[in-house]
Amino acid sequence: MRTHGWRRVLGEREVEVVKRITWLFQILMTLCSVSVSAHAELGIETVTTIERLPAAHPYRLYYTDVALPHLPDGKLLVIDGRNMKVEGMVSTGSFAQTTLSPDRSEIYVATTYYTKLNRGERFEEILVYDASTLALKAEIPYPARHSQSLPYLATLRTSADGRFIYVQNASPATSIGVVDRKLEKMVTEIQTPGCFGLYPASSSLRLSTLCGDGTMLTISLNNEGMPTDKQKTQEFFDPTNDALFVAPAQDGDIYYFPSFKGDIVTVDVGGDVAKPTDRWSMPSAAEKRQGWRPSGFQPIALHVDSGTLYAGVHSKGYEGSHKDPIQEIWVFDTKTKKRLSRNKIPAAFGLAVSKGSAHRVFAYNTEHSSIMAFDGGRKLKKVAEKAGFGDTPSQLETQ
């Protein structure tokens, strides 16, 4: 009956449940009140410490990942090549090209952004990162025409003194942008129709580029980065029957270009006009018949101090196999042009070598996002391997 009160209607057990719910609700409201009060009293935190990478060493690696499955998320990984641990990372955006300053104190990135992530209005910048903290130091505006390609060693370079950053453009017309690092602006664009690749001189303010007619164009610059002279070589390679890879190895003014069929072509770019100086074959006549030839994104690497050239090669080569995986690393003495050893390796797509006497050779695999490390010298010895460095990394540089 209602006159007996709500206790009789609900029952003793139900009354106890109501009491507990009421008690829990009061506690919850109290906690919320305390939380809001505490939140209101929190001040704005100021970051006062910027972490630095471990001290630089000869085995530090810079691994550029274009991230083909999700292009806006490109990145550059900084890796300790001794233990294969990642030390840091910088974002590089879409279709970025990367390089380092000559003293390895800065990382440069030519990148593309779109107003709607992967579409819309396109604009570009040259990003400058501190190589010791990975902090962003500068954003230099750049016209929307840098090469939209996989990262290559020849698409973003600097002058020998570090004053100028050279950018390979392709819109699709080819040209070279000259960016003044000190003034943080592009000072000129040099038209280079039919030519591609950036090969700066070490001894002078000159820049050369390979041309599709089998020649090389050399551009001389003044101290403001403006072109003062252009001169072309005579044809010195056959672009139809035996083209040159655009990713050579460098020793000062001398560049070592591998050809598709296995020759090494050396070119001196220090003068007003580039000068081809030598040509020699890596495979023997019998090996050529078996189809042994270079391949990959970075088919060769040069240890300058010892004059040791490392070449990534594959067998049964054919027209169009120049990007096939590397099957062996051949070791050459550049002074005698003699092969010192053949080393079978798991599939790789490029090579890099550290500086110093106890140098290491690094071979990377874009499909597996992996790096293998070998003790360098006459015969290679594998000392480390690790996979999982991103999605589709295709460029590797050393400290």
pLDDT per residue as tens digits for the range 288-306: 999 999 999 999 999 999 9
List pLDDT tens digits, range 94-129.
Answer: 999 999 999 999 999 999 999 999 899 999 999 999
44 burial class (0-12, 13-18, 19+ CB within 10 angstroms)?
A: exposed
- On the question of pLDDT at 68 being above 60, the answer is yes
DSSP state letter for 71: G
Q: Taking the alpha carbons of 142, 143, 145, 148 in that order, is the dihedral positive or negative?
A: positive
How confident is the model at residue 127, as a pLDDT?
Answer: 99
Q: Is residue 11 part of a domain?
A: yes
| Average pLDDT of the chain to the nearest whole number | 93
Sequential DSSP letters for 299-347: -EEEETTTTEEEEEEESS--TT-TTSPEEEEEEEETTTTEEEEEEEEEE
SS3 (DSSP) at 234: coil
pTM score: 0.88
How many folded domains does the chain comprise? Answer: 1
Q: Is residue 338 part of a domain?
A: no
State what percent of residues in the chain have pLDDT above 70: 90
Mean pLDDT value across residues 4-9 = 45
Q: Is residue 30 part of a domain?
A: yes
Q: Is residue 31 part of a domain?
A: yes
SS3 (DSSP) at 43: coil
pLDDT band at residue 16 under the 50/70/90 scheme? low
List pLDDT tens digits, range 360-393.
Answer: 999 999 999 999 999 999 999 999 999 999 999 9
How confident is the model at residue 46, as a pLDDT?
Answer: 74
List pLDDT tens digits, range 224-256.
Answer: 999 999 999 999 999 999 999 999 999 999 999
Q: Is residue 213 part of a domain?
A: no
Residue 6 is part of which domain span?
Answer: 2-41
Q: How far apart are CA 313 and CA 317, in angstroms?
A: 9
pLDDT band at residue 2 under the 50/70/90 scheme? very low
**Is there a contact between 298 and 265 (Cβ–Cβ < 8 Å)?**
no
Q: Is residue 22 part of a domain?
A: yes
Q: Is residue 34 part of a domain?
A: yes
Mean pLDDT value across residues 182-204 = 99
